[in-house]
Amino acid sequence: MSIAIENFVKAIYKNDKHDTQDTKPGNIAKKLGISNAAATDMAKKLAAKDLLNYEKYQALKLTDKGTKMALNVVRKHRLWEAFLFKMFDMSLHDIHREAELLEHQTSDLLAEKISEYLGHPKFDPHGDPIPNADGEITTEDTSISLSDAIEGKTYTIARLMSDDKEFFDFCAQNQIKYRNTLTVSKQFIANKMTQISIGSNTIVLNEDFTKIIYVDEN
């Protein structure tokens, strides 16, 4: 299946999540930057391939097969975002753009290797769920902010909820990386500060930081 088809199916899936009426050809066309005519055209073709149900003038509905394809692409996109975010010092915007391309040229095997390397994360750095290889999605987010973490426990970094460059620079310097492991050595409750050990470092963070660092219990 082509890149155009994958993107089409993905657009329907994402729009549908947002609003069922949002999957009419015109909305998909706008999202993909193609003409309405092209979207109608493609919809008919994909209906013939059993990827979606097409009825004139109606919203497009993915079939199970189409949903599975969309989830597979979304999985690869979010795994790439997570992986590149962990590996390289790049802006989230740049990372998104790379993932948008790489998602279509990634075998299931490589996706699995990336997932394995990251410890099979259930959410990407934005907090969006990563479907598993069978297309299953974890809906409830069990991540907690570091400010709510429990003394003595070990966690994996699930999200860094910020766009601030200074914050990311600080994180990079202190091994605070998506998917890294840390242990909460002390919660200074009165002072709203948290002491963590990460790699060979021990760091005390104030509330400004602990509120935007989300972690999963190990």
CB atoms near residue 80 (< 10 Å): 23
- CA 210 from chain centre, in angstroms, equals 21
Site for a second copy in 4-63 (CB under 8 A): none
Q: Which does 190 bind (CB under 5 to 8 A by kind): DNA, a second copy, none?
A: none
Instruction: Give min distance, CB of 162 to a second copy, in A.
Output: 21
CB-wise, 26 or 127, nearer to DNA?
26
| 114 contacts 79 by C-beta, under 8 angstroms | yes
Q: What is the DSSP string of 89-145?
A: ---HHHHHHHHHHHGGG--HHHHHHHHHHTT--SB-TTS-B---TTS----S---EE
**If binding is defined by CB under 7 A, does position 61 make contact with DNA?**
no
Looking at residue 163, what DSSP letter applies? -
Site for DNA in 10-49 (CB under 7 A): 24-27, 29, 32-45
Contact string 89-118 vs a second copy (x = CB under 8 A): xx---x--xx--xx-xxxx-xx--xx--x-
Site residues for a second copy per CB under 8 A: 84, 87-90, 94, 97-98, 101-102, 104-107, 109-110, 113-114, 117
Site residues for DNA per CB under 7 A: 2-5, 8, 24-27, 29, 32-45, 54, 56-58
